[in-house]
């Protein structure tokens, strides 16, 4: 099992305060999963910085599609379905929910 | 029967009184402490407002959360941490806060704390 942490983020916001809190408490090697209104963070500069600083970013596909958002091919995030969500939860040693 | 000893970090991120989050987090901290778990209680974001001294919530029909937080050492909760940046962003200084024996921490310290925890709850 991966010793790192999975962080779920379910809100966006301008400025994206919840994502900022998550990033302050997360470390390189951790993963961030955007779900619910957190999917609006796709494409935000803060999220790009998070990827640059060694976080893996995942997006829950059904929440993204529900809101009419599409992933730009240049974006370095990975789409996951609910099975992928469960796999991530198992793969990381703990999960922190930012809500 | 003894519960396996775990290190559990609780992150309280919301102001008191307007929602139940702050009170619920305190209840979880106390429950974990009663079961002899190693507990860290971290205040960040608007959660730092819970630590303001001189709270008088009687007129809004609430129990004084600050007074409850001051009793934490009696329940064996002695790792009470406050994120320095959350205080700065709200123009708060340590002398405006309760005397609960808390420690102000940098984000690097807190990241290490989270890494070393078995479970982390946010409320």
- In sequence order, the 6+-apart residues with CB closer than 8 A to the CB of B89 are none
Question: What pTM did the predictor assign?
Answer: 0.93
Asked if the model's pLDDT at residue B10 lies above 70, the reply is yes
Give Cα A76 distance to the centre of its chain.
11
**Closest-CA distance of chain B to residue A73, Å:** 32
- Across the beta sheet with A78-80, the strand order is A78-80, A56-60, A31-34, A2-9, A92-98
pLDDT band at B3 (very low <50, low <70, confident <90, very high): low
Phi, psi for residue B46 in degrees, rounded to 5? -65, -10
Mean pLDDT across chain B: 94
Task: Note whether B120 and A92 are within 8 A (CB).
Answer: no
Chain A interface, best mutation among B115, B116, B117, B123, by max A CB count within 10 A: B115
Asked if the model's pLDDT at residue A46 lies above 50, the reply is yes
Q: Which of A8-22, B1-15, B94-108 has the lowest mean pLDDT?
A: B1-15
| Residue linked to tokens 């778990």 | B37
Mean of pLDDT values over B32-50:
96
Mean of pLDDT values over B10-18:
97
Asked if the model's pLDDT at residue B1 lies above 50, the reply is no
Phi, psi for residue A79 in degrees, rounded to 5? -80, 140
ipTM of the complex: 0.89
Contact B120 A96 (CB under 8 A): yes
| Residue linked to tokens 């079961």 | B35
- pLDDT at position A54 is 96
Residues in B closer than 8 angstroms to A3, CB to CB, are 115
Mean of pLDDT values over A67-90:
93
**Closest-CA distance of chain A to residue B13, Å:** 9
């Amino acid at each position: 099992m991966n010793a790192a942490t999975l962080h779920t983020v379910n809100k966006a916001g301008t400025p994206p305060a919840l994502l900022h809190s998550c990033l302050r408490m997360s470390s390189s090697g951790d993963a961030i999963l955007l779900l619910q209104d957190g999917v609006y963070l796709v494409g935000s500069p803060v999220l790009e910085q998070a990827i640059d600083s060694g976080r893996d970013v995942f997006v829950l596909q059904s929440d993204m599609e529900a809101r009419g958002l599409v992933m730009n091919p240049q974006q370095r995030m990975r789409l996951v379905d609910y099975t992928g969500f469960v796999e991530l939860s198992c793969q990381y040693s703990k999960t922190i929910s930012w809500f | 029967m003894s519960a396996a000893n775990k290190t559990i970090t609780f992150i309280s991120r919301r102001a008191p009184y307007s929602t139940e989050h702050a009170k619920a987090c305190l209840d979880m901290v106390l429950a974990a402490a009663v079961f002899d778990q190693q507990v860290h209680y971290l205040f960040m974001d608007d959660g730092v407002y819970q630590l303001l001294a001189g709270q008088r919530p009687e007129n809004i029909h609430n129990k004084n959360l600050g007074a409850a937080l001051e009793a934490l050492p009696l329940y064996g909760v002695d790792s009470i941490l406050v994120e320095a940046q959350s205080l700065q962003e709200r123009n708060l200084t340590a002398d405006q806060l309760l005397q609960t024996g808390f420690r102000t921490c940098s984000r690097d310290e807190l990241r290490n704390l989270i890494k070393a925890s078995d479970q982390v709850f946010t409320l």
